Every structure is written in structure tokens, then in C-alpha cells.
Structure 1
């Protein structure tokens, strides 16, 4: 995993866990130990966090599938529309 490629960086983690068996809130807390700058600064109060979405809902942790931010789909619209079906429908609605 790129997360543990730098030995000094891995010391920041409190523990290494399997994400399969923990809650979204716990997953996010683990990710935010290192990833709480810039866009994620206000993650805890974001609509995604408040609705129980975890980082690994959209991002792979240990393997790269896209060139952008370890997203689980190369196409970010395809990724977002997995949950935001209403927004997709409005986006593709005819103008008349």
C-alpha cells in the first residue's frame, strides 16, 4: 500500500485494521489521522459524513484504480451517480 510505503509515515497510524469490520465513522477517523487538510478539513460536518458515508465508499485504500485520488471509478460522474441518482436524472433531463 502507498499508505505504508514510507516507514516514518506509518508511525502516525494508531493501528492497522481491516476496514471490512468497522463502522464508517471509525473508518473516517482513521483516514483523517493523516488526511485532514484542505478539502477534508471540514469532513466531520459534511453531508457525506453525516449520512454515514465512509472514505472507502469512493476511494480505494491500498490499490490504484484511477489516476485521480484513488477513486473506485475512473469517471467521477459514474462514481457520484451511484448514490446521487436524482442529480443524474436532473442533469440529463430535457430542457423543455
Structure 2
């Protein structure tokens, strides 16, 4: 979940800031865990957008893959945020 943007649940993705996510955008969910937010994010970005879920825990990634198996616009990747080029010291 992105800090300060509200909740990304199935009942209202991005409801904290309605205009935050728009159709066609690419969204990165770092530390996606079991992928709870990924379906709602995918709904917000629509068929022209992409949602990328990243987590370092293989068990969480397996759950995220299962949760999003029918969503073509969702990608699940293994990675560690501390190794991200944009991560701080």
C-alpha cells in the first residue's frame, strides 16, 4: 500500500484520493505481500494499464499469483525494496 493515499481495497481503490490512479497508468506495489491490493489497483488502471507487485517472500508471491491469476494486466516479481535503485541509504 502506498502511504498517504488511502485504502486500496475491493470496495474503493484509491478512495483516499480519487484522482490518484488513472486508466492506462503503471502502478508498482512494493512489498505487495499476498497481493490483497492488486485486483483493486488493476481495476483502477484498466485494460490499458499495468500493475506490478514486488515482494521478497516466495510464499507471499505464490499467494499473490494465485489471487491475480485471471488478471492479465498484473505482473508479480520477486525482489527486495532495499536493492531497488530508487531506495534510499
Select the structure of larger CA radius of gyration: 1
What interval of TM-score do these two structures reach, taking the shorter chain for normalisation? under 0.3
> Larger strand proportion, structure 1 or 2?
2
Normalised TM-score (structure 1):
0.22
Whose relative contact order is higher, 1 or 2, with alpha carbons under 8 Å and at least 6 apart?
2
Q: TM-score by structure 2 length?
A: 0.23
